[in-house]
Amino acid sequence: MPTLETLAHNSARPLHWLTTATAMAAVIAAAGLVQPDAAATGPSAAPASGPPATAPDPAGVTYPLDCKGLPVAVTATAQGDLDGDGRPETVAAVRCDAGSGTPPHAIYVLTQDKAPGATPRIVATLLEAGKKQTATELTIRDGAVTASLLGYSSPEVPRYSPDVKQLAKWRWSGGKFRQELTNSDARSV
């Protein structure tokens, strides 16, 4: 039976320790190179390249409204990823700043190109000002834009007293935004 003094590891030389240290360093380096695949990290993982994308600033956009010389007012905004590309869009409710009355709104979807210094741009119009509706309570939830729309049941209804309220929802589908009117209520609001 071998004695403690005759076992090989009991008399290790510097070359033995150098070989062991090199092997351990190789294992640690290989473990650092192995990365989990994107499916394993899930949707909450941040993109590996750079800081997270920011939503476009609605103040940096020229809106296609004919305000007859009056300024344009952005009255509500919401931000979120509407098309599933991982970059947030901004939805803006915009109207002419008439100072009185209830000018109609237009609702636009804005995006920001990835290029440094790029300005935000309009990529979709969800509500045209010609529909003569006022947008309130603008939100983005679960990839859908929702707005309460106030309007008029007839031309005889005074413009200061909308009598129709609709909850409108838009969702990105098939390469464009599709609108769903979720409810309509012809009543004084």
Q: Which of 32-36, 51-55, 99-103, 147-151 has the highest mean pLDDT?
A: 147-151
CB atoms within 10 A of CB 98: 13
The sign of the torsion formed by the CA atoms of 154, 157, 163, 168 equals positive
pLDDT tens-place string over residues 32-75: 555 544 444 444 444 445 566 789 999 989 999 999 889 999 99
The pLDDT-based confidence of 149 (bands split at 50, 70, 90) is very high
- Report d(CA 155, CA 185) in Å as an integer: 17
pTM for the structure as a whole: 0.69
CA atoms within 13 A on the CB side of 156: 0
Residue 148 burial by Cβ neighbours in a 10 Å radius (0-12, 13-18, 19+): middle
Query: Could you tell me which residue, 37 or 85, shows the higher pLDDT?
Result: 85
The sign of the torsion formed by the CA atoms of 109, 114, 115, 117 equals positive
